[in-house]
Structure 1
């Protein structure tokens, strides 16, 4: 997750290939079976690239600024 690393954003990487329960949780969260998936405070982004992640992260930051 170079985009997150470049911005100093901490995250937990979970290997959904070797962990069946994690794979099932990914499907439950995202309603699909493609990685990567990111979940932040209930907001989910699945099967994304850097541009989609940037837009998603801006929404998260705006949401937290209002809280």
Structure 2
């Protein structure tokens, strides 16, 4: 089953760009939602307790903070 991957990002966010680069290097397709422009995406993150970008959605599960370290991401992405 292909996973739906969404990067929740903001403009000029270096960690956001690093996350997108990591996903591209892993050969994964993903969507990007700019939480400064997409109020629904911003509200979703707020409901989940996420206070800053980047965050990553994998099939509806939101990852942020230490969950975004490469070793943790690989575990989530390849389950």
Distance in 1, Cα, partners of 2:52 & 2:73: 17
- Structure 2 gaps of 5+ residues are 1-19
Q: What SS class does the counterpart of residue 31 from structure 2 fall into? A: coil
Which residue of structure 2 aligns with residue 19 of structure 1?
A: 38
TM (norm. structure 1) is 0.67
Larger radius of gyration between Structure 1 and Structure 2: 1
Aligned residues: 60
TM (norm. structure 2) is 0.59
Which residue of structure 1 aligns with residue 56 of structure 2?
A: 38
- Structure 1 gaps of 5+ residues are none
> Which structure is higher in RCO with an 8 Å CA cutoff and minimum separation 6?
2
Higher helix proportion, which one? 1
Q: What SS class does the counterpart of residue 17 from structure 1 fall into? A: coil
Higher strand proportion, which one? 2
Q: Is the 8 A contact 2:54 2:64 kept in 1?
A: yes
Q: Is the 8 A contact 1:38 1:46 kept in 2?
A: yes
Which residue of structure 1 aligns with residue 26 of structure 2?
A: 7
